[in-house]
Amino acid sequence: MGVPSRLRRRWWLRLSVLVNFIATVIVAHNYLVGSDVALVKAVLLPITPLDPLPPAPAYIPGMEGGECSLCAVNPALCEELGPNNAIRGLGYRGENARLRRMLARVRAGKPFNVAVVGGSVSKGYSILTHHPNVDPGNMHRIVFDHLNARFPGKGEPAIEGESRKAEGRNGMTNGALGATGTDYFQYCFTEDIPPDVDLVLVEAAINDQRDFSFSDSYEQLVRSILQLPGEPAIINIHVFALVFSHISMGGDMHLATAEYYDIPTMSLRNIFLPHILENPEAIKDLFCRDSKEVRDELDLYDLRHVCGRGHRIAGNLTSAYIDMQLCEMDRIEAAAGHSRIDELYPLPTLPRQGLNERFEIGKTLPRFTPNCFTMNAVKNKLVPSKNDGWREWFHPDVPSKKYMVADKPGASLTVKFRTALGRVELHYLISGTFGLGSVECNVDGGSKVRFDGHC
């Protein structure tokens, strides 16, 4: 993306002062080191025949081949991908307690809201329409439309904007931001997610790096979402990219956390990467090339953003997974003879401790109450209390990303905020090509910290 030359000498700063009211958690790694050697004497014993195994049941809920299997609820998807490939896309299935509770409310006639946390893929970067974030071809819109078709609300659904559940209408909000990971969303997700959300679709597998700090930020994000008053469920939709230094990205660290919190996870990589490794031409089935290019060479393909087919398969896979749960719920309710939500689908408790903490008996992690102020906000926009030489700015090609910019040495601004036993984070733009400068910041006259916008 080009930037006008007159801006190349300016100092840029994306000021997103993020205030978290939870004390910083210090994670320690302990390693077990043994100095004693146990000597084991092996003795050969006579073989005792094992009792014969009981006959396997004809059907175990959730297993492939049953009436609630993936290929049973969406045979077209299995026909397109092949049954084994399609099943590989169910990266982690889980117990689904929260998802089934949410679906039980919807089946009982309650309206619902679906929200999205993600990056440029979720925003529909490769979908060439005027509103790609809510285009019917966007993976998240596919999931919402599927749910809305099965459980329609009163009147037209509310796409974007405020929640309309009070009117009986279903709604969808896509809060994705390009080039943004859970290090931002862990504090600022409330800016884009209505407090009465019922299902949150998280796509953060490639915007988060394979770094332990993103394991922390992802956990804080999902834990905070799960504590919202609407008792929402979460589904991870993991896409993948082939432009980074590692194929493995932050989503692989998220998976352990997802298992800990019982968050089902869909995986496009599980489906497609084995075939791409065997035949690189398969890249063309999933990623897009610049439409202005005549040549059809692999080096012209955007390996960061999945194309229309990737969106469609991710959306259909997630929708099929939801149908699998609805099918299982039919069986559960038929066996119980009733559909009372609190009895059949009680709200699971959150684990007392975070996964990235040291285990301590009796310790309970306090409730997260994140807050943030950012230039992109509608609810809590960053407004300086004093300003000398800074102004709001955005690049014409990316108006959704707003910044505070100054081009005069010594320019200053002041922002007022409060925090209790918490921490303050400053998010800003770094570029190796934009010619950015440096700023120094301090809190309450304390020592200054320098932030460099160049690398």
pLDDT value at residue 330: 97
Of 148-152, 170-174, 375-379, where does mean pLDDT reach its minimum? 375-379
Q: Using 50, 70 and 90 to split pLDDT, how confident is the model at 455?
A: confident
Domain spans of the chain? 5-22+369-452, 70-344
Closest CA to 385 of 407, 344, 417, 340: 417
CATH number for 70-344: choose from 3.40.50.720, 3.40.50.300, 3.30.470.20, 3.40.50.1110.
Answer: 3.40.50.1110
Contact 234, 200 (CB under 8 A): yes
Task: Identify residue 109 by its one-letter amino acid code.
Answer: G
Question: Backbone phi, then psi, for 395, in 5-degree steps?
Answer: -75, 140
pLDDT value at 160 more than 80: yes
Q: What is the mean pLDDT of the chain?
A: 86
* pLDDT(407) > 60: yes
Going by pLDDT thresholds of 50, 70 and 90, the confidence category of residue 38 is: very low
pTM, to two decimals: 0.85
CA distances from 72 to 43, 203, 320 (A): 51, 26, 9
Predicted confidence at residue 429, as pLDDT, reads: 86
The CA distance from 96 to 258, in Å, is 11
